[in-house]
Structure 1
Amino acid sequence: MARLVGALKQVAPWAAQNADVAIALALAIVVGVLGIMPEEMFAADPEQGAKVQAKFVTAATLVILALVATALLRDRARQAPVEESITSGALAQLPVRLQRLEQIEHLVTGTRKALDALQLVRVLGSRQEIAQAHADARKDTARWSFKGGTGTYLRAVTLPLCVAAARRDKRHLTVRIEVIDPADTEVCETYAHYRRSLSDLPDGTGETWTTDRVRKESYATILAAFWHRQRYGLLDIGVGLSATMTTFRWDLSSTRLIMTVEDPNRAMTALADTFYYENCDTELRLSFEQARRVPLETYKRVPLSDEPTIEEVQELFERIGTPLPKSYNGRDVVDIARKALRAMDPYGEPAVHGRDGT
């Protein structure tokens, strides 16, 4: 009895909250019981008892259906405000929220691209890393753009090795070089003063920076361009002379950009197709277009020997409209030829010379 009372107490709150459903359930049980009871329990006459039993069942069934309909109507009445709230509230704001989600998606995509681009701009912190970056940039490259002071490393390593690799593979090579104009004494003095202000000690070549050295280094770059052009027909090389100096040196190949400074242990590199690489490529192109162009198309007019003579060098610079200073003697011309074809690597690596890159 105690268990029954306990069970009723547990069911009572649910029955009170769902009275119509509870009544319908109770009636359904009663109808089920009446349906299986014998007809004699409703009347002495079996036929009369069956009629009474059928009336009870029919009436109870109608009551159950009415209660079920009432429960359905009540549930619909309860759901109507909720549906109206969802339709007028959340669904009405859905287009705005979808638009915000789309904006967030665009923002995340743009941020991811920016982060990817930043990850590909790397600082190099040693001579070895810088040398390896240059080696990776030279590998199978079809073009090279340089902008800097006088192009010492370019003459010593980059240009000979790139030409040798192109000749070995019998492929085209495009080179664009922009250096200080050796005929502009003012910019040469400015550059020499800048280099001496950083260090008055000899650099990796064993020389200190003077105005005369700046001029000779730039003349040597021009001479090296003509020398290599005469020896490799698939080399498309151009030299521009700038009236302004830069504290950076850009080396750009088909695969990467390397930006160096006067500190031999610090540089920055970026891979192709990144934001930084593309913008530096544009900068170098526009800067080269504004520089005074050396007429390299005249390379056939003054043939240069494997070891250019003093007369050949002097005639070359006369023909291209950039004559050597009158104060230069034979020793100065020989010094320019040596810097052009046997330049010492300022980073301390062996210089490269010759057709085969040796």
Structure 2
Amino acid sequence: MRLRGALTNIDLGIVLLVGAVVSVLDLLEVLSEENADQLILPVLALLAFVWIRDRNRQARVADQIAILGRTTEGMWRLLSSGDSVKSLNGAAITRLLAEAREGSDMWLFKGGTGTYIRAVTLPECIERAKRTRSKMRFLLELLDPTNEALCDSYTQLHRNLAGDGAEEKTWTALGTRKDVYSTILAACWFRQHNSHLLDLKIGLSGTISLFRCDLTSHNLVITQRGPEFPGLAIPRDSPHYNPWYVELENSLNQTRLLEVGKAPPLSSPPTVAETRRLFEVLDIPLTDDFKDSDVADIARAALSRIDPYQGRVPVPRPAVSVN
């Protein structure tokens, strides 16, 4: 490396050497003034040659950097292209999530109440795990139902964004809290009745977001306020998938994690007393706002298989091949 660097700059070294020799000889009065003046021009010419060559070298380096910059920019455009991140609408979101339920052995959810998770995703994934005798890992990040101000803000946000006549206009903070409790109860119930199949972690968040993330073994699907709104899909082979995986799991680990392993026995369906006891053990007890009728609603909704988005988006039909 040092030898190559010395050879690259040998011309500059010759200029310095000649200049130094002429200066020494002039000081020692070995050269006459006439001969010294005659040597100045060749030295200046050699110096000009070195300067021009250096300018050309810098220009070539600049061109290479520009090419590299364009290549990097092109690569970034490729990573952000439709092959890496896909925009989805309506039925495409429903179809992608349905495909994930049929083949994924892991589901990481970050959202609000998890209504769709408990009604569709969780039971269908458990059914598939039973058929294939495979293990399922479920990681859920939900709103903290004990944080009344948080649940009220979440409700108001969706009320304000909803159009006239939309179901969200009728939402209440108590209803939001009941939804979260139902999802927690459902997850604990499925874990208890399928302990050999379901590995469960639940974390309660103190923040709200418009976006819902469903990360599976195949894709990350990011949606907002239901499947009729635009969403994004990031496939597993995208360079964005793993960073999102790390981000979502790290977010879950910073939440208030529930000790689901302490859940007491739950009947089919759970009783009001069992439901109250469960949340006491999990350290998220129901407040006096929850009457027995509300607790019964929580237990009923927990095991209900009613799709909350049914009828809002047409279900995609499989393609029919023509022979």
Q: TM-score, normalised by structure 1?
A: 0.65
Structure 1 match to 2:45? none
Partner Cα separation in structure 2 for residue 162 and residue 113 of structure 1: 37
Equivalent position SS for 1:308: coil
From 226, 244, 265, the equivalent of 1:280 is: 244
Residue of 144, 151, 171 corresponding to 2:114: 151
Superposition map of 1:1-358 within 5 A: 107=69, 110-119=72-81, 120-126=84-90, 128-199=91-162, 201-203=165-167, 208-232=170-194, 233-262=196-225, 264-299=228-263, 302-342=264-304, 344-348=306-310
Letter paired with 1:308: P
C-alpha displacement of 1:140: 1.5
Residue of structure 1 equivalent to 2:28: none
Any unmatched runs of 5+ in structure 1?
A: 1-87, 351-358
- SS at 1:275 equivalent: coil
Q: Post-superposition shift, 1:203? A: 2.9
Amino acid at match of 1:311: A
Contact 1:152-1:343 within 8 A present in 2 as well: no
- Asked whether the 8 Å contact 2:269–2:300 carries over to 1, the reply is no
1:20-77 deviation line (CA, Å, top 9, x unaligned): xxxxxxxxxxxxxxxxxxxxxxxxxxxxxxxxxxxxxxxxxxxxxxxxxxxxxxxxxx
Q: Which letter does structure 2 place at the counterpart of 1:131?
A: T
Q: 2 CA distance for matches of 1:265 and 1:108?
A: 35
Give the fraction of aligned pairs with identical amino acids, expressed as a percent.
35
Give yes or no for contact 1:203–1:346 (8 Å, CA) kept in 2.
Answer: no
1:251 and 1:259 in contact (8 A); partners too: yes
Which runs of 4 or more aligned residues in structure 1 lie more than 4 Å from their structure 2 counterparts after TM superposition? 91-109
Task: Quote the RMSD (CA, aligned, Å).
Answer: 2.8
Distance 1:171 1:331, change over 3 A: same
Contact 1:130-1:265 within 8 A present in 2 as well:
no
CA distance in 2, matches of 1:135, 1:227: 22
Please give the alpha-carbon distance, in whole angstroms, between the structure 2 residues aligned to 1:133 and 1:349: 17
Unaligned stretches of 5+ residues in structure 2: 1-49, 313-323
The alpha carbon displacement at 1:334 in A equals 1.3
Distance 1:214 1:104, change over 3 A: same
How many Å separate the matches in 2 of 1:304 and 1:115?
52
Judging changes above 3 Å, is the alpha-carbon distance between structure 1 residues 306 and 116 closer, same or farther for their aligned structure 2 residues?
A: farther
The amino acid of 1:334's aligned partner reads A
Q: Distance in 1 between matches of 2:57 and 2:237?
A: 36
1:346 CA drift (Å): 2.5
What amino acid does structure 2 have at the position aligned with 1:322? I
Q: Which has the larger radius of gyration?
A: 1
Query: Judging changes above 3 Å, is the alpha-carbon distance between structure 1 residues 162 and 116 closer, same or farther for their aligned structure 2 residues?
Result: farther
The structural deviation recorded for 1:173 is 1.3
